[in-house]
A and B are shown apart, each in its own frame.
Chain A
Amino acid sequence: MKKLFKLIAPVAVLAVAFAAQSASAQTLKTVKDRGMLNCGSNGTLAGFGLPDAQGQWTGLDVDFCKAIAAAVLGDAKKVKFVPLSAKDRFTALQSGEVDILARNTTWTSSRDTSLGLNFVGVNYYDGQGFIVRKTLKVNSALELAGASVCVQQGTTTELNLSDYFRANNMQVKTVTFATANEAVKAYDAGRCDAYTTDASGLYAERLKLANSADHIVLPEIISKEPLGPAVRHGDDQWFDVAKWVLYAMINAEELNITQKNVDEMVKSTNPDVKRFVGTEGNYGEQLGLPKDWAVQIIKAVGNYGEVFDRNVGANSPLKIERGLNKLWNKGGIQYAPPVR
């Protein structure tokens, strides 16, 4: 036994050392050397990460990974999407199987600290909402007293629901189902007055209803679900790159730089735009990226507003309201530090 241990111990140490090395190595350099970004994404969530009929990945999170690939490698196509389930997403990031996790992950304190992640920012402010029939003539969740609500069981959704109504001293009857699919079916069949889940999901589920135009999503959002991409602890350079790719997309919307006009904007004399597109200063180099990193991002996927509209907003079948995800100067809370 002792002999066996002697034999195995160095191997184990070596393996752990390798793992640690791969986990904390310079991700930016690794990605550049590999010529390919490994992006952990959902694969099963409409509007965030879902392959289309040709098998091409689409979605808000998917476009974020494409933006990083455009900034780092100059080609948005150089992304390998690794579909991850909710269970194995963090392990995949920790083990180095993916360079970045962009999988509608809620930013919470425990995940930020104990799981060894760094959240890059928030690319979608989500929260739990309600959908009701228009014929119910309800305009606010506070008018739902006495109503029955369909909900998927065993999720935080169920907990948020009871917390919210207890806090507001209201009685509602919750009807729980094992899967979201069953809950929506039951709501459509008229077993409940309302159905609740995360707002982004509500819009997707609404399309599955027999007459989606007969239902409205109520304005109240009863929980905070800030969704954002995450990277590993211990690699500040890569953390910066990911952060600034997200900020670049938001800043571009603020500066009115779009996929269409980006080539003209390169010639702009506005100092803010000049710094952004890289004709002034060396902000790209400071990040370890090419000078025109931000231009590459916008050319590949567009600014944050365009990405939002194309995947989940007005130009998509989901038609989700921008709401909190509007820019800070348009009534939302999407705000990015400036490039300078």
Chain B
Amino acid sequence: MTMSEGDLAVMEIRFVRGAMLDSKPPPASMRGAIGWLRENLLSSPFNIALTVIIALLLAWIIPDLLRFLIFDAVWTGADRDACLEGVQHRAIGACWPFVWERWPYFVYGSYPGPDRWRVDVFFVMLAIGVVWLLWLHAPRRDIGAIYFFVVLPISAFILLTGWRAIGLEPVDTVLWGGILVTIVVSWVGIVVSLPLGIVLALGRRSHMPAVRLFSITFIEFVRGVPLVTVLFMASVMLPLFVPEQYSPDKLLRALVGIALFASAYMAEVVRAGLQAIPKGQFEGAMAVGLNYPQRMRLIILPQALKITIPNIVNTYIGLFKDTTLVFIVGIFDFLHTVEISRIDPKWATPVTSTTGYAVAAIFYLIFCYAMSRYARATEARLALSDRR
């Protein structure tokens, strides 16, 4: 086929760019520090106002905080004289030597000195278990799960309470205290409440009347009474009905109380997740011939739990802080060991209480923030499937 005159003319006019232009950077106001500021802090008049207010608040709090915690703080000393304005003739901030001296008590409570290595071993074992389970690239996480849910509880029990046969002196739980108690109580609560909560949530949605009635009664009853009441009943009323030698250990009673209490809340959280799964998922699962356990395990629960991660972690954080309530039944958790230490006349000064509470605040902040960060990361990872 030959080209006409006109076609040739068109070809000459046609222009196709061979090389692309370099893309230009965004305008100066949109990038770098200024761009970040504009987008994140100053994007609207309302946000500008918020930014200013928060900046003012920080400017008001941070200098005083740093002055108290660091610049004016006392770092060494033997007793209260080191932290007294009248003795030192200078402004006094936090009294850190008080914390140095009392730190072993904060960690172990009255756990006998020569046996404290057992608590250290428990902490290390627990840390290994937590990392093994939570770090996604850890090798053999299936063994990790067995370790965390079977090996660790048994060995921790033997290690902490003692077993004469293998040379570990028995240690009465009344001597436990401090971070040890806080960790043990929240760990047991966290580990027990999720599975038990799932079972209760499924029970509440069950078609079997007995199961449903039991689950509803349990959940509503436990949610209807304050945790303090549960603990108080377990520790004060129980011994009135059961003779002393048959009544279970005080810490065990508190552990059971807290675990059951947390389970009831967890059940409602999980039920919310189950409620959110569309009916089609259940029907689809049935249509491919899965039985009830398979449906739940393979289709429903993975989706339901994913939706509820923020609430589950919320319950965990609440539980972690609720453990401080065990002090009312005479168990010395971390916060209570701080409370006791600030009464110690050896360190009684105007700043001792504040220092003690600052340590407690930092402790709880670290743990709760770590939990919430890990949950955020998990959420982000699981949300990838929704953003396909």
B-binding residues in A (CB < 8 A): 15-16, 18-19, 21-22, 43-47, 50-57, 80-85, 88, 91-92, 94-97, 181, 188, 204, 207-214, 316-318
Contacts and interface: CB of A to CB of B under 8 A. Distances in A.
Given A51-B110, A53-B105, A80 B174 contact: yes
Contacts of A214: 86
A96 B344 contact: no
Interface residues of B, number: 46
B345 A83 contact: no
Contacts of B109: 51, 55
Interface string B71-103: 000000001100011100000000000000110
A22 B105 contact: no
A21 B243 contact: yes
Given A52-B344, A91-B237, 15 more contacts: A18-B246, A19-B240, A22-B244, A44-B343, A46-B348, A55-B104, A55-B175, A57-B110, A95-B236, A207-B349, A208-B348, A208-B349, A209-B350, A214-B86, A317-B348
B316 interface: no
Given A44-B339, A50-B343, A92-B236, A83 B332 contact: yes
B111 A318 contact: no
Contacts of A85: 328, 330
A46 B345 contact: yes
A51 B343 CA distance: 10
30 contacts: A19-B242, A43-B332, A46-B348, A50-B343, A51-B105, A51-B340, A52-B105, A53-B102, A53-B104, A54-B105, A54-B113, A55-B111, A55-B113, A80-B172, A85-B330, A88-B232, A88-B236, A91-B236, A91-B240, A96-B243, A97-B244, A181-B353, A207-B348, A208-B350, A210-B86, A210-B350, A211-B86, A213-B86, A316-B345, A317-B79
A119 B14 CA distance: 112
A22 B238 CA distance: 14
Contacts of B352: 208
B233 to A, nearest CB: 11
A136 B85 CA distance: 21
Interface in B191-232: 232
Contacts of A208: 348-350, 352-353
B241 interface: yes
Given A82-B174, A188-B350, A94 B110 contact: no
Contact of A95 (B113, B177, B244, B330): B244
Interface in B243-279: 243-246
Contacts of B84: 210-211
B330 A317 contact: no
B239 interface: yes
Nearest to A318: B345
Interface string B331-365: 01000000111011110111011000000000000
A193 B190 CA distance: 51
Contact of A22 (B85, B235, B243, B349): B243
Nearest to B331: A83
Nearest to A15: B241
B108 interface: yes
B241 A50 contact: no
A316 B79 CA distance: 13
A273 to B, nearest CB: 35
